[in-house]
Amino acid sequence: MFNLLVKMSSEQKTFLTSVKEAMESYFATDQRRINHALQVSLYTGELLAYVDADPLVTLTAAYLHDIGIHESERKHGSSSGKWQEIEGPPIAREMLSDLGAEAAFIEDVAEIIANHHTRDGVNSPEFRVIWDADALVNFAEVMPSKNEEQKENILQDHMATEAGFRIASRIFITDIESHRRCLKGYRPTFSP
């Protein structure tokens, strides 16, 4: 379930399993949202092998980053990022509190959720990993309709970590020359 390169205690792994199960229970029959969270968590694990970020905070945020989507749709008739950022943190706080998480940990995760659609929303490596992992999953829908130059520009403008950029380039840039050019041209777009 978790990347072998990410070091966590058995207690942390057990906690993450509980977070995953709580997310799945909350989304119930909404398999699309569950699958998205699981895919984001897989990319998060991969990115954590290259980015120095707290794995427990980051993987917890990966599972819960879109937890406010149902409330957004119910209350606002929209699943837009703005509403998810408002509705998600209270749900995540309650879930994590029920799982016995400490208050500071809960607030770290809630802050990421409250900003996960806002570029430069939180100045932390955990946020940047979530930003890139979410993008890697979402790009699967966007990139097929783009040409190589458009793909390069999207990646240059969007990715927050070099690791995320390299993974995205490997997945979405299909022409070898474009891939080489893209990798040579990487420049971080987020503040460190």
Sequence spans of domains, the chain: 10-184
* CATH, domain range 10-184: 1.10.3210
pLDDT of 181: 65
Centroid of chain to Cα 119: 13
pLDDT of 164: 93
pLDDT of 3: 46
The tens-digit pLDDT sequence of the chain (192 residues) is 444 467 899 999 999 999 999 999 999 999 999 999 999 999 999 999 999 999 999 999 999 999 999 999 999 999 888 999 999 999 999 999 999 999 999 999 999 999 999 988 889 999 999 999 999 999 999 999 999 889 888 988 899 998 998 899 889 987 666 656 666 666 666 554
Specify burial of residue 79 (Cβ count, 10 A radius: 0-12, 13-18, 19+).
middle
Terminal C-alpha separation, the chain: 29
Long-range Cβ contact pairs of 140-143 (< 8 A, separation 24 or more): 143/172
Share in percent of the chain as helix, strand, coil (round to 5): 70, 0, 30
- pTM, entire model: 0.90
